[in-house]
Structures are given as structure tokens and as C-alpha cells.
Amino acid sequence: MFIEERHQKILDILETKGSINVAEIQRKFMVGYDTAKRDLRILEEKGLLKRTHGGAIPVHQVGAGKPSGVTCKDIAEIKPNYLAIAKKAVSMINDRDVVFITSASVGYLMTQCIPDDLRIRVVTNSIIIAEELRKKQNITVIMLGGEMDDKGNCYDAFAIEMIKKLRFDKCFLTSAAISADFGLSIQRSQAISFWNAVIDSSKKAIGLYPTEKIGINSIVSICPADRLDTIITDWEALEDDLKGFDELGIEMVITEKEIEE
């Protein structure tokens, strides 16, 4: 097969499936790892795709993800990348840890992945997260109080004062968007002080960011990206975006896509 023909077939797969990875190119076209990576680099230089950590996505997908206000109550479908990030986050929790878990959908998925033999204390500002965790005998829950919003979360001064009296081994958080230059960002300013207080009270701050939240900016910056020690993202994250975080000294953890049986 000529290289031009292989490149066109790669683009055809992208158009059909929305993504392609290096291993898939190797397997389908019987080429080596370096050849597969070079194919993607050439196609990116031509402006025909954007490379991700483990493969590529079509150009028209870049920037298409919108900052999401979805909370755990709104989950109708589990996205594979969100679940992979949640599982990786849980794997970083040690026995006896005190952790803060975000009220967003990826935080809800974390509650579903915590094993029964992991004894921890969880702090949350979400009544939905707390309700899920109270069913687990191995978990002690601290619910932050205050005025609750319509999604069952507390961000006000009462919640912030409680946070200042607590210390976390790790906090797991997310926001509408994150970029190396604008940092963590959200659509409304009310929660800025809350999230900074959570980070201030944590020995280690871990950001949970699916591809669609990375490399874009929402309206209001919470804090610089390097206030996070670690970012967990997925296999479709763009290499250019990851490079920016690497340069800031942030540990990048890339989840792998689970192979369907």
C-alpha cells in the first residue's frame, strides 16, 4: 500500500470513528510504531488532523467541547474517558487518607469505584456525593454545610470556614475548563474562594480533566494551573496542551482506553 493511500484510509477512519490511536494504525496497516507516529505527524503538518497523546482526532473536533455545568445528578450516560479518569483517581487514594471529592460528574463516578476494603474519610460539599458514600461502611463522610444551590452543592462562606478547619491528604477537583495560560476556569465567580480554600487545605491537589475540558478557557479564572500537583486526563488529550502543563512542572497522568472484549 502506498503511503498516500494509507494516509487517506487513516483520515477515513477518523471521519467515521472520531479518533484513531497509534496501535490501531500499526495493527490495521501492519506498520511499525515509528511509522504510525510519522504518519500522524505528516497529516498534522498538512492540517488534516490533530495529534493526541496516543493517536489523533479530526481537526473539526478541536475546541468543540463546551465547558460543562453537569453535576452527578445529571448523568444519563457514563462516558468512557470520565470513568477511566475516575478509576485512576481512586487508585491514588491510600488507606486512611482524608480526601476531598469534587461535586462534578467525575467525582460521582469516583464514588462508584471506591473498593469496599479502602478505609478513608471523604469531605464533600455535595449532598449527592454524601448520599452515595453514606452507604459504604468503610467510608466516613464529612459534609460541608452552608446555603445549598439547586444542584445540592454548598460553596458559600460557611462551607469555606469549615474547609479552613480541615486538612486533606488529597483533593480531587475539576472545573469547566483548564489551560496552561489561563489556569482553572469556571463560568461564575461565586465558587472561586471555595476552590482556592480546598487547594490551600490539601497536601496534594489533583485535577480531573477529560479531553473536552483541556486547552480551553471559561469566563473566570480560579487560579493558575500550577496550583495543581497532578492532572489526570485521557488518551485523546492533545500533545500541545500536555506540553504546556509539563512546562509548568505539573505531573501528567494519561489514562488508557479500555479495550472492549
pLDDT of 261 > 80? The answer is no
Domain range 72-254, its CATH number among 3.40.50.300, 3.40.50.1360, 3.40.50.720, 2.60.40.10: 3.40.50.1360
What is the pLDDT confidence band of residue 60, given thresholds at 50, 70 and 90? low
Mean pLDDT of the chain: 87
Q: What is the pLDDT of residue 76?
A: 41
pLDDT of 87 > 50? The answer is yes
pLDDT of 73 > 70? The answer is no
User: Hey, where are the domains in the chain?
Assistant: 3-61, 72-254
Q: Which residue has the higher pLDDT, 153 or 17?
A: 153
pLDDT of 259 > 70? The answer is no
pLDDT of 260 > 80? The answer is no
Tell me which fold the domain 3-61 belongs to.
Arc Repressor Mutant, subunit A (1.10.10)
How much is the average pLDDT of 84-101? Answer: 97
pLDDT tens-place string over residues 11-23: 888 878 878 888 8
How much is the average pLDDT of 161-176? Answer: 96
Q: How many whole angstroms separate alpha carbon 224 and alpha carbon 7?
A: 39
What is the pLDDT confidence band of residue 59, given thresholds at 50, 70 and 90? low
Residue 123: beta bridge partners?
100, 142
Using CA atoms, how far residue 35 sits from 25, 46, 73, 201, in Å, is 9, 17, 45, 47
What is the pLDDT confidence band of residue 62, given thresholds at 50, 70 and 90? very low
How much is the average pLDDT of 66-80? Answer: 50
What is the pLDDT confidence band of residue 79, given thresholds at 50, 70 and 90? confident
pLDDT of 3 > 80? The answer is yes
How much is the average pLDDT of 153-182? Answer: 95
